[in-house]
Structure 1
């Protein structure tokens, strides 16, 4: 493998001059988990596709996050979809089955039927291919895309959640948690709904900001936020929360109604609250 250009400045001539008789492929790697700002330059995939095909070479792009459709959010726009790469002349596109696609963890190769056919026959495929359960989960996810039912894909749904809807959920959950903690012997419970800046994560859309809300909690009698977070992680059903400003933070964008129930059950376990009393909290 021959590196081309520099970290922030890569031009067409850099690729062109690096080609030799031994070159078999041009590879473009999309910076899905970092961003370059300022004095930068990169070569459009359309130009690289033409260069590769004029020289009889394969053009491959590692897209990383694997976005199949536009997320529909202004903060997560500008990244190419798998289809747009193929339409631009890329022969092979590699991407993740999880991340923005929202399926199981897997590596995917899409593109030219002829090249994919050759890959199918490569001896290492049997050692590297995924199992049937992964394939079944991946197929189920893709069928949701085909039906246009992207709202049923948790990753896609969470990214596109309306901030006002998140705020209403946070207020409801705060009320439930306040009622539960009020039945303990704690003398001080600091519980608030606060605005937060969520991120897509998973190595996708670095620097993106998704406006959201979190329920922040501080229980001074149990020590710092780190101490409380540790206690929640050590429950029979671990509760993983964020932290900020010495408070445990429940980011409601990613908390479902079932998750709310599990969190409340966790606090019931933590303080050994009578289950009958906990069930009456709504």
Structure 2
């Protein structure tokens, strides 16, 4: 009756149905636009997996009005982000191969058994080094997908766990945070959990360095 434009803030902004990759469902941008809303806004830095940006899609005439609004000179992104966005969107032309080319999606869809093998290999190297200082084990855990996208969802994973013998797990966690770069974990039942789902080999080596420094008293 009043011909008012409608807008939906989708938030995370999935361009494909994540269930195809074994992940929980999140509303797809294309489907929300098809429902008839005039504008849909979503993030480029969450499920779209590009550098931080806000994206608006919808009616061409409204998009043009937004583009010519003086505020656009303040909030528009730079050329580097636009180049990264273009390159990432081209990957979505072949959605069946996304997990091969998008590192965040590759990390989220790693088989849990692969993460477990990585954790076991690291435990085998750390256990002798930390004998008498901490008990090193491999335990199942759940990787949280994110606070903005799928905030309540998780995927099965495996963690390296550390139970120090002479100090609290809290003190061990604080010491590892003093390493450069900081090593961040999760405290649970007097153990420090290090979920390895998103770590590459170079970062695994960094965990070893940090724990060696802790053993030698360099991190307090």
TM interval, shorter chain, is: 0.7 to 0.9
Q: Which residue of 1 aligns with 2:200?
A: 256
Q: Which residue of 2 aligns with 1:233?
A: 177
Shift of 1:179: 4.1
In the aligned structure 1, how far is the partner of 2:92 from the partner of 2:147? Answer: 20
* Residue deviations 1:190-242 (CA, integer Å, cap 9, x gap): 11111112221132224323111111012222x11111111111113211222
Equivalent residue runs for 1:185-196 within 5 Å: 187-196=132-141
Q: TM-score, normalised by structure 1?
A: 0.69
Structure 1 residue aligned with 2:7, among 39, 42, 60?
60
Confirm or deny: 8 A CA contact 2:22 2:109 kept in the other structure: no
Equivalent residue runs for 1:39-58 within 5 Å: 55-58=2-5
In the aligned structure 1, how far is the partner of 2:190 from the partner of 2:170? Answer: 8
Q: Are 2:102 and 1:153 equivalent residues in the alignment?
A: yes
CA RMSD after TM alignment: 2.1
Q: Could you list the structure 1 runs, at least 4 aligned residues long, displaced by more than 4 angstroms after superposition.
A: none
Q: Which structure has the greater CA radius of gyration?
A: 1
Q: Are 2:117 and 1:168 equivalent residues in the alignment?
A: yes
Gaps of 5+ in 2: none
Q: Are 2:147 and 1:202 equivalent residues in the alignment?
A: yes
Confirm or deny: 8 A CA contact 2:123 2:160 kept in the other structure: yes
Equivalent pairs, count? 214
Shift of 1:180: 3.8
Q: Which residue of 1 aligns with 2:30?
A: 83
In the aligned structure 1, how far is the partner of 2:92 from the partner of 2:121? Answer: 31
In the aligned structure 1, how far is the partner of 2:53 from the partner of 2:80? Answer: 11
Gaps of 5+ in 1: 1-53, 274-282
Confirm or deny: 8 A CA contact 2:127 2:135 kept in the other structure: no
Q: TM-score, normalised by structure 2?
A: 0.87
